[in-house]
């Protein structure tokens, strides 16, 4: 099992990589750095909020839990 620090590092590195991919895709379509960075910033915040809400919803479900 991974140590918590390793899991946190992997989480952060994935979030950075995923955001860079989003910025690159937006830049490819728009050619506009400002728009690309804006979408990237919005994406980070939006996905954090939706992930939190997703987790809270799953916490209400008993499906797949033992005991």
**pLDDT tens column, 36-63:** 999 999 999 999 999 999 999 999 999 9
Contact of 6 with 12, CB cutoff 8 Å: no
User: Which whole number is the average pLDDT over 13-24?
Assistant: 97
**Per-domain residue ranges of the chain:** 4-60
Task: Using a cut of 0.75, tell me whether the model's pTM lies above it.
Answer: yes
């Amino acid at each position: 099992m991974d140590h918590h620090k390793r899991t946190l590092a992997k989480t952060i590195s994935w979030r950075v990589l995923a955001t860079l991919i989003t910025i690159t895709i937006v830049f490819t379509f728009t050619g506009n750095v400002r728009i690309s960075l804006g979408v990237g910033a919005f994406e980070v915040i939006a996905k954090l909020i939706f992930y939190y809400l997703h987790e809270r919803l799953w916490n209400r479900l008993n499906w797949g839990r033992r005991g």
